[in-house]
A and B are shown apart, each in its own frame.
Chain A
Amino acid sequence: MSIVENHPLTLPPRISEAGVGDYIALLKPRVMSLVVFTALVGLLIAPGHVHPVLAITSILCIAVGAGASGALNMWYDADIDALMSRTAKRPVPTGRVTPQEALAFGLILSFFSVTTLGTLVNWVAGGLLAFTIFFYAVIYTMWLKRWTAQNIVIGGAAGALPPVVAWAAATGSLSAEPIFLFLIIFFWTPPHFWALALFRSDDYARAGVPMLPVVAGPDATRLQILLYTVVLVAVAAAPWALGYFDAVYGVSSLLLGGWMLWLAIDVYRRREGKQAVRAARRLFAFSLLYLFALFAILLLEVVVAAALAQFA
C-alpha cells in the first residue's frame, strides 16, 4: 500500500473576489493623474483648435493606456512588489487579483486605448501611445528595471511621452514644443525617483532591484541627483531662452528650478542620520510640486490667452 493515494487532485476552481477598486488600483491612479495632467498641457498648448470631444477622447485614451502600462507592470513585478513595503499591498501580491487577470486586463486596455485613439483621433498619436505602453511594459519593466542602475533614467522616457502623444493627437505631427516637454519630464525623473530610492533603499535592496543607491551607494546617488537637477533646470529654461515659451514661464522655471536645485544641494550636503532622510523626502515631495507647477503655468497661460481672445 502506498502512502500517497493515487487520486487526481481536484481543487475547486478559483472564484475571484476582486472588486472594482482592485482593478482601479492596477491602473496606478496616482501615476495616471500626473499623466493626464501633462497630456492635457501637451494637448492645449498645441496650435490650432481641437474639438472638445476629440480632446476628451485623446485624454481618455492616454489615461487608459497609462493605466494599462501600470497593470502590465504589476503583473510582471508581482514578485518584487511582494517584497517591498511600499507595494506589498497591491492587488496581485496580496492575491486579490491573479497575475493572469492582471495580464489580461492590461492587454485588453492596451488594445482598446491604442485602437480607439488611432481610429477616432489619428494614428500618429495611436502609434506613439502603443510605443509608450511597449516601452514601459517591456523595455522598462521586463528588461531595464532588474538589470541596470540606469533603469529609471532610460525608463523615464515612457513617463515623458504622454504630452508628446497628446500634441500628436491635436496636430497629427510633432514639433519642438512637445520635445521640450518630453525632455523636462525625462530629466526630472532621475532626481525624483533617486530621492525616493535614497529613503527606500532597504526596500529596493530586499527586492533585488538595482536602484542607484543600492548599486553605487547613497553618496554617488546624491551627486547624480545634483547633476541631473542642474541639467533639468537648464532644460526647463531652454524653451524660454530659445523663444518657444514666454517670459512668465521662463522666470517661473528659473525660480522653481532654483528651489529644486537648493533642495538637491541640501540632499548632497546632508549625508547622515535623520537630516539626510528629511532632505531626501523634501526633494522628493518638492519635485512633484515642481513638475506640476511648471506644467500648470503653461496651462494657465493658454487659458488666460483664450479668455483674453474672447474679450478682445
Chain B
Amino acid sequence: MDEEQPPGIVLTEAQKKKRRERSIAIALALGVLVVLFFAVTLVKGPAVLNRPM
C-alpha cells in the first residue's frame, strides 16, 4: 500500500491572491513592452535597425 504523499507547500488564500496580482502585473508589463516594440517598428519602419552609433 502506497504511503500517503505529504501535501507540500500549501498557499494560503492571501498568498494565492497576491501571487495572482503579481502575475497579472507582470503580464501587463510584458504586454506593454510588446506593444511598444510593435509601435516603434511601425513608426520607424525598416529604419528601426539603422542606428548609427
Contact = CB atoms under 8 A, between A and B. Distances in A.
B10 to A, nearest CB: 10
B43 A54 contact: yes
A174 interface: no
B21 A20 contact: yes
Interface residues on A, range: 20 to 34
Given A23-B25, A122-B51, 8 more contacts: A16-B18, A20-B24, A51-B43, A53-B39, A57-B40, A60-B36, A120-B37, A120-B40
A17 B22 contact: no
Contact of A17 (B9, B15, B39, B51): B15
A17 B13 CA distance: 10
Interface residues of B, number: 21
Given A17-B14, A18-B18, A18-B22, A57 B9 contact: no
B11 interface: yes
Given A23-B25, A122-B51, A57 B18 contact: no
Contact of A12 (B9, B19, B42, B51): B9
Interface of A: 12-13, 15-20, 23, 51, 53-54, 57, 60, 112, 116, 119-120, 122-123
Nearest to B25: A20
The B interface is mostly helix, strand or loop, or mixed, namely helix
B42 to A, nearest CB: 8
Interface of B: 9, 11-12, 14-15, 18-19, 21-22, 24-25, 33, 36-37, 39-40, 42-43, 48, 51, 53
B9 A13 contact: yes
A53 B43 contact: yes
Given A23-B25, A51-B43, A122-B51, A17 B36 contact: no
A179 B24 CA distance: 40
Given A12-B9, A112-B33, A123-B51, A19 B40 contact: no
A50 to B, nearest CB: 11
B6 to A, nearest CB: 12
Contacts of B48: 120
Nearest to A24: B25
24 contacts: A12-B9, A13-B9, A15-B11, A15-B12, A16-B15, A16-B22, A17-B15, A18-B18, A19-B21, A20-B21, A20-B24, A20-B25, A23-B22, A53-B39, A53-B40, A53-B42, A54-B40, A57-B36, A112-B33, A116-B33, A116-B36, A119-B51, A120-B36, A120-B48
A165 B46 CA distance: 25
Nearest to A121: B40
A71 to B, nearest CB: 14
Contacts of A122: 51
Contacts of A53: 39-40, 42-43
Contacts of B40: 53-54, 57, 120
